Amino acid sequence: MYDMDVDLPGGSDFEDVTKLFAAAANDMDPEALLMTDTFSLLDAMSAFEIGEPRMDSGMVTESQQRPPFDPLAPMLPQEICWILDRAFACEMEWHAGASLTQTVHTLLYVHYLDDLNPDFITGHQRYLYPPDPRRPLELLSVVMRASVMALLKSCDLAWRELSKGKVHDVEDWLGEKSEVSLLEGISADFVLRKVDDALTWLQYSNLSAQDVQLLHDRLLLRKTVMQLLKLTLPLSKKELRRLSIDARVLLQRIRSQSLTQPTPDSPAAFVFDPHISRRLACFMPVRIIDLPPQEQAWDHLSRLLDGWEELSHLLDNPCVSTWEIAGCLRIWSPRHEIHPAYLRSLSQSVVYDRGNVMGRLPPMWSVECFFQESVGCSYEAFLSKICIRNDSSALWLKKEIENRICKYTAADLRANSYNPPRRRRYFMKASLQWHEVFDLFLQLIPYCEPFDSEGQALVDVMPSIATMRRLAASREIILSGLQQDLYAREEVTIAYWYLSRILDAHLECIDQILNFDTQAREEMKIQLNFLTALQVMSMAMCAITYKQCTLPYQRTALNFVRRHKWAFKPEYEDLAPALPLPDLRRFVPEVEEMLSNGQYSPAQSFALAEDMLDSLEGLEGFASIWAEDRRAFFQGLARICIQLQALPASSADVAGFDLRRLKWVDRTHPWFPDLGV
Amino acid sequence: MSSSPIVYRQYTGESDLRHIMSLVQHELSEPYVIYTYRYFLRQWPHLSFLAYPDENSDPVGVIVCKQSMHRETRNRGYIAMLSVHRDWRKRGIASTLVRRSLAIMKQHGVEEVVLETEFDNSAALSLYESLGFIREKRLFRFYLNGKDAFRLVLVVPPGSEDQQDDIGIPSPIPPRPLFLAPPRMVPIPPLPYDADEASAR
Ligand SMILES: CC(C)(COP(=O)(O)OP(=O)(O)OC[C@H]1O[C@@H](n2cnc3c(N)ncnc32)[C@H](O)[C@@H]1OP(=O)(O)O)[C@@H](O)C(=O)NCCC(=O)NCCS
């Protein structure tokens, strides 16, 4: 082990420049600031003050003094187990977004792997401590060493996936390694063999059966997790499932075992140094964090395993709609936490990787799904019915449409694995892209010469399939805006209003598609009811909250245009109109008309929506094994409807309603407020 | 506490810095280095204001801003720091400070004003929203502590530079206070990155 305290980064031939700086400063006026051309705010902010404890991570205060670390200090088997568990907690916290320096690197063995190497341990070191059969050296040189190597290699494998650029460094995860090795140069198989060696040693050791079991389970869990991380694309669903189920069994067993916590004077208590960053080459000041309690760390690991298993099921279901449903449910459901960045990256890699979609399918598969999952016929059958004339422009259009469907379908599916704000910004782009597909379909129509009414119906409906994708994107922009609390009270009414108009247009498309008797029919019916319920609820919210719009019209209009920048992009001007247009002028007349209708009842609207959601009971559509999740989601929405049925029963009563009863903060549903007393 | 009207003054120089730092630092979990303050104050001193309870006491509120061309197309203002001492909150000091800076930005042709704030800073959110800002986007895990932020934006309609705000701004104001020589520029090769705002997202 090199001595880190002496090994200064950059070598030791430093020169003192204080005098030079002082001389240069003499030439400056008081208050003068020297700046270079490209000196940016970030540069200014990245300076730090030596001796300011919150910035100067190298500073050691009195209370932080600790004895020097001895990697070979003997440990009891259960102390080793405790360390291995906490090492999992470190790894999970890194997966949750903390830096390696705050987590994995705090495990000091990480920096002393060479000292643990049995080949390098000298006789002198061997006899430094009196022999103790309860604390054999191999617990460190074999078990700990293999575990730490596997931990680092696991991080390396995850790092490789994370750094593909599908999730964002600093935002979704932290890639900074602070010049500490993650065993990049050592093969994963070698590390796995070390773990196997440790398992073998354990088997023949003289430890108690109980200790052997405890250590065995942890080594095996570490190995299984590493094997999962080691899987390469295209992922084998069989392996994914087998390994994640194995890992889950081990995890359950470990969680049921009770470990003796190390005493405060045990060497195990000094194995993690939260202040390790002061000895590493760190870019940013590192905040000291508390690692989560072990139960929470296991929950994190369990979610990682769920994610792998879910992926294996998704690979069973080559159906765009199923992926879509599973992805949306994860985002929409308040009880689901967002997946760790690693899984979100991996899912995206599975959706599209080096020319393959969903693992092993050719990109044209997306085009197949596009038609199969809407009008219910294969692409080949579709083409044979719409009869495109043999004309070079028509063939170009056809090819262009195919390419774009492939590209945008994969992009849509990948976006469900973005972090929610990024996903929302993606849909702003996507709604334009799908509108371009719609426009290309319109251009293709004159070249179609169907010979029967069925063919004609397909020609008529094809642009609408693209429009449904656009409207789904637009809907997600607004729903995620609600979910992310982007709308102030002033704006929320307009958001519900525009959402209801988008849903209206979407429902028209679905009606058109329901004319086709297809296997997609059940899914379309589910969509029809769900979106109708949502539409009715949005209108009712609009009616209820209308009176809180009090800003002057000019400010409302400015904010509306900015808010809907995505729908006002100049590119739309060259295309057929993208209905419903974002036209604020229609807002006031439409809402006032609704409110002046004596028959209109917000409370009744919520009752109606509840009925529609209830009627979805038992329908599965394309939800596959997510049918249960979807049902739970609809039930959650129905429960909000029940609550909101206590809203005014007539438009006349709306005026007297106290808007402070709508509870937005910590609400149960991401899209609608709760109703307080 | 006196009931005399609050006095607002433009930043006058390094002697104000100590007060500004103590007002702002108080609210931060990670401190800013002094260069962060100087970065703004030396380049846009005219956009920074301090609020005093009377002529002789220390300031109780401060705003620090910048204004520059964004992607060479939009004249963008940026509110970097805003803080009012706990004992002096909820009496309109922050909104007056924002209006003051805004008025100067308008004289310099500002088209939009942006800032970031923690997603759960309800005081700041209502303050800015009462001034017409909207939460344009959420920024995922924006802060070092893993918290999300909101990017707020105020769209300034063209032609509002001649609009008198409801507070008396002495007009005309010189584009920059005269005591300030522009920061000296030393040409060095450009850095491989360009990040002039806290967030390039
Ligand atoms: C945010 C902050 C600057 C507000 O200062 P302030 O002087 O109290 O604000 P004002 O009195 O000018 O308030 C103006 C409006 O903001 C809103 N507001 C201010 N404080 C609020 C609070 N605690 N809760 C809800 N709304 C609040 C109100 O809408 C208020 O208008 P009203 O008085 O007509 O109701 C102050 O709380 C502060 O310094 N906080 C810590 C630092 C910070 O968060 N800075 C902003 C980060 S960019």
* pLDDT 10s digits, A286-325: 788 899 999 999 999 999 999 999 999 999 888 999 999 9
Q: With a cut of 60, say whether residue B195 has pLDDT above it.
A: no
Task: Give pLDDT tens digits for A426-479.
Answer: 999 999 999 999 999 999 999 999 999 999 999 999 999 999 999 999 999 999
Give a yes or no: residue B87 inside a domain.
yes
Q: Which ligand 1 atom is nearest residue B128's CA?
A: 16
Question: Which residue, A223, A280, A345, is CA-closest to A104?
Answer: A280
Between residues B25 and A249, the one the model is more confident about: A249
- Is residue A421 within 8 Å of residue A167, measured between CB atoms? no
Given the DSSP bridges, would you call strands A356-357 and A352-353 parallel, antiparallel or unpaired?
antiparallel
B148 belongs to a structural domain: yes
**Residue A586's pLDDT band (boundaries 50, 70, 90)?**
very high
**A663: Cβ–Cβ under 8 A, 6 or more apart, which residues?**
A673, A674, A675, A676
* ipTM score of complex: 0.88
- Pairwise CB contact (< 8 Å): A285 & B186: no
B135, B140, B191 ranked by CB distance to A419: nearest: B140
| Whole-structure pTM value | 0.90
The three-state (H, E, C) secondary structure of A30-75, written as one string = CCCCEEECCCCHHHHHHCCCCCCCCCCCCCCCHHHCCCCCCCCCCC
Q: Which of B116, B141, B142 to mutate to test the interface with A (most CBs of A within 10 A)?
A: B141
| pLDDT interval class at A117 (50, 70, 90) | very high
Residue A461: helix, strand or coil by DSSP? helix
Q: Which residue in A has a C-alpha nearest to residue B65's C-alpha? A: A41
**CA A105 / ligand 1 centre spacing (Å):** 41
- Whether residue B192 is predicted with pLDDT greater than 70 in this model: the reply is no
Closest-approach residue (CA) in chain B for A489? B129
Residue A655 has φ and ψ, to the nearest 5°, of: -55, -35
Is residue B183 a part of any domain in this protein?
Answer: no
Residue B162 placed within a domain: no
Give residue B41's domain range.
Answer: 7-155
Mean pLDDT of A336-355: 92
Among the residue ranges A245-254, A279-288, A469-478, the one predicted with the least confidence is A279-288
CA pair distance A46, A35, nearest whole angstrom: 15
Contact B201 A285 (CB under 8 A): no
Calculate the average pLDDT of chain A.
92
Q: How many domains does chain B have?
A: 1
Whether residue A622 contacts residue A651, with contact meaning beta carbons closer than 8 Å, is answered with no
- Angle, nearest 10°, between helix axes A237-256 and A209-230? 150
- Residues of chain A with pLDDT > 90, as a percent, come to 80
Q: Could you tell me if B190 lies within 8 Å of chain A, comparing CB atoms?
A: yes
Separation in Å, CA of A497 to nearest CA in chain B: 18
Cα–Cα distance for residue pair A223/B54, rounded to 1 Å: 69
What pLDDT score was predicted for residue A525?
Answer: 95
Is B180 inside a domain boundary? no
- pLDDT at residue A55, rounded to an integer: 65
Closest residue by Cα to residue B131 from B162, B109, B105: B105
Can you give the CATH number for the domain in which B69 is found? Answer: 3.40.630.30
CA R_g for chain B: 17
pLDDT for res A10: 59
Residue B83 within any structural domain of the chain: yes
Three-state DSSP at B49 gives strand
CB A248 within 8 A of CB A84: no
- Whether residue B200 is predicted with pLDDT greater than 80 in this model: the reply is no
By CB atoms closer than 10 A (0-12, 13-18, 19+), residue A88 is buried
Element (H, E) at A321: helix A320-332
Three-state secondary structure call for residue A127: coil
Q: How confident is the model at residue A13 (pLDDT cuts 50, 70, 90)?
A: confident
Tokens of A361: 């399918």
Q: For the residues of B110-131, what is the DSSP string, one character each?
A: --EEEEEEETT-HHHHHHHHHT
Atom of ligand 1 nearest to the CA of B93: 7
Q: Give residue B199's pLDDT.
A: 44
Residue B40 domain-assigned (yes or no): yes
Q: Which residue's alpha carbon is nearest to atom 4 within ligand 1?
A: B94
Q: Give the distance, in angstroms, between the CA of residue B123 and the centroid of all CA atoms in the same chain.
A: 16
Residue A599: count other Cβ atoms within 10 Å of its Cβ.
7
Ligand 1, residues at Cβ distance < 6 Å? B 27, 82-84, 89-95, 115, 117, 121-124, 126-127, 130
| Tens of pLDDT, residues B104-158 | 999 999 999 999 999 999 999 999 999 999 999 999 999 878 889 999 999 999 8
Is the pLDDT at B64 greater than 90, yes or no?
A: yes
pLDDT digit string, tens, across residues A194-232:
999 999 999 999 999 999 999 999 999 999 999 999 999
Nearest one of A237, A390, A303, A363 to A96, comparing CA atoms: A303
- Compute the nearest-CA separation of B176 from chain A (Å): 16
Over residues A86-100, mean pLDDT: 97
**Which chain A residue has the Cα nearest residue B28?**
A54
Higher pLDDT, A63 or B72: B72
* Residue B22 covered by a domain: yes
Is some CB atom of chain A closer than 8 A to the CB atom of B14? Answer: yes
N-terminal to C-terminal alpha carbon distance within chain B = 43
Could you say which residues from 119 to 158 on chain B have a Cβ atom under 8 Å away from some Cβ of chain A? 119, 125, 129, 132, 134-142, 144-146, 148, 150, 153, 155, 157
Give the mutation target among B95, B99, B121 for probing the ligand 1 site: most ligand atoms within 8 A of CB.
B95
Q: Which amino acid is at A80?
A: I
Least confident residue range of A282-296, A365-379, A629-643: A282-296
Nearest CA to ligand 1 atom 42: B83
Min distance B3 CA to chain A CA atoms (Å): 31
Confidence band of A120 (pLDDT split at 50, 70, 90) = confident
